[in-house]
Amino acid sequence: MPESPYLVIDPGRVRENYRALAAAMPAARIRYAVKASPVDELITLLAAEGAEFDVASIGEIVQCLDLGVEPATLCYGNPIKKAADIARAHALGVRRYAFDTEDDLLRIAEHAPGSEVECRFLSSAPESRTPFGAKFGCAPAEAFRLLVRARDLGLIVAGPYFHVGSQQLDPEAWRIGIGQAAEITDALTAKGIVVRSVNIGGGLPISYADAAPDLTAIASVIDTAATEFLPTATELVVEPGRALVGNAGTIHAEVVGIRIAPDGRRWVYLDIGRYNGMAETENEYIAYRFATDRDGDPVDEAVVAGPTCDGDDVLYQRTRVLLPTTLRAGDPIRILHTGAYTASYSSVSFNGFPPLTVHVSGAERE
């Protein structure tokens, strides 16, 4: 048995998720956000299924290329990138880039001439479960100006790009974003610039402790909005990460100890915490579900914490987590639907704890 903690990924489930998304959004190009789970076997599987890839760094670009992924399917989607990285990506064959500032646009024009570009704008969508805030995206009017500038710099305009935030639970978020993208598209058309695509980003949710909207319901909102607002020839690009890999992973961990604090609250300490896989519990944004070998025994509330000496390494103290009262040190515990943003967030060696190990299940389902 592998040393705890470790993550097990089921590639068969990833295939099922990809095919379900393709069936729900048959007209959209699916571009996998590699950062969600940069596992070689998943990248190879998704390439075989026909996916494109959203890459955030030279490291992800090289990984994809080393696995035989065609450079034409890669989009350097991180708006924050050095001139040297753009030049390296271009030398490696990458011809699609996203940007949200004039400075980055000018770097792309200089170091990746003739490439296709998308301009990311900050949509007015409601806040998601794990929001980006204002880190990315320019104003819609600025996106229009920058895409005109891109055309004048000899770049190929793909179109506007927005992201409704990770784990977005309100389907109307995409309708709002598509409506804003349509205003940019109409203005570009009036300037004689043909918009090839609208990138609606990621954010497609999965169910954790709380249920998420059904994928088909979200796809219906997207399809209706696209039909209403966008020209018929405009392609949609969707960039799922969590929706493809989230429910394909389970973390296997262990109870390190149990403590009753002076205030009477029970603390359950695990051998996994914020720094070796559970980063998305920051601010208790994502409420994972737990399973134990003692399920069925009486339960009570617990504060759940990680193993490090950092006072912030607490997973849940406001979220109501019910765990068996019979849990003891050494008991195994499974954290469900942890295939996205766990191992890829894991630190190198904070407090000396190693990064989360990943194992890929050999039993795939066709």
Q: Which residues contact 237 (CB under 8 A, 6 or more apart)?
A: 28, 29, 31, 52, 161, 197, 198, 199, 200
Domain boundaries, the chain: 11-245, 247-360
Cα 190 to the center of its chain, rounded Å: 34
Query: Which pLDDT band holds residue 349 (cuts at 50, 70, 90)?
Result: confident
For domain 247-360, give the CATH superfamily. Answer: Lyase, Ornithine Decarboxylase; Chain A, domain 1 (2.40.37.10)
Tokens of 59: 């490291």
The percentage of residues in the chain with a pLDDT greater than 90, rounded to a whole number, is: 93
pTM score: 0.95
Q: How confident is the model at residue 207, as a pLDDT?
A: 96
| Mean pLDDT of all residues in 102-116 | 98
pLDDT at residue 362 in the model: 77
Give the whole-angstrom CA distance, residue 238 versus residue 33: 10
Using one digit for the tens of pLDDT, what is the confidence trace for 248-278?
Answer: 999 999 999 999 999 999 999 999 999 999 9
pLDDT(318) > 60: yes
- Residue 364: is its pLDDT beyond 60? no
**Per-residue pLDDT for 104 more than 80?**
yes
Whole-number Å distance between alpha carbons of 320 and 120: 37
Q: Kindly give, in sequence order, each residue whose CB lies less than 8 Å from that of residue 267, ignoring residues fewer than 6 positions away.
A: 258, 259, 260, 261, 302, 303, 304, 305
Tens-place pLDDT, residues 154-196? 999 999 999 999 999 999 999 999 999 999 999 999 999 999 9
Residues 6+ apart with CB under 8 A from 24: 215, 216, 219
pLDDT of residue 179: 97
What are residue 17's phi and psi, to 5 degrees?
-65, -40
Quick check: 293 and 327 in contact, CB under 8 A? no
Q: What is the mean pLDDT of residues 314-321?
A: 97
Mean pLDDT (whole number) for 63-92:
98
Q: Integer distance in angstroms from the first to the last C-alpha of the chain?
A: 27
Confidence (pLDDT) at 365: 41
pLDDT at 366 over 50: no
Statement: residue 114 has pLDDT above 70: yes
In CATH terms, is domain 11-245 a member of 3.10.310.10? no
Residue 1: the pLDDT is: 62
Residue that the structure tokens 């066709």 belong to: 366
Is residue 131 very low, low, confident or very high in pLDDT (cuts 50, 70, 90)?
A: confident
Average pLDDT over residues 293-304: 98
What gap in Å lies between CA 7 and CA 342, rounded to an integer?
8
Classify burial at 202, counting beta carbons within 10 Å of its beta carbon; exposed 0-12, middle 13-18, buried 19 or more: buried
- Residues 206 and 221: their CA atoms lie apart, in Å, by 17
Could you give the 3-state DSSP secondary structure of residue 109? helix
Average pLDDT over residues 208-231: 96
Q: Are strands 266-270 and 332-336 parallel, antiparallel or unpaired?
A: unpaired
When pLDDT is cut at 50, 70 and 90, the band that residue 51 belongs to is very high
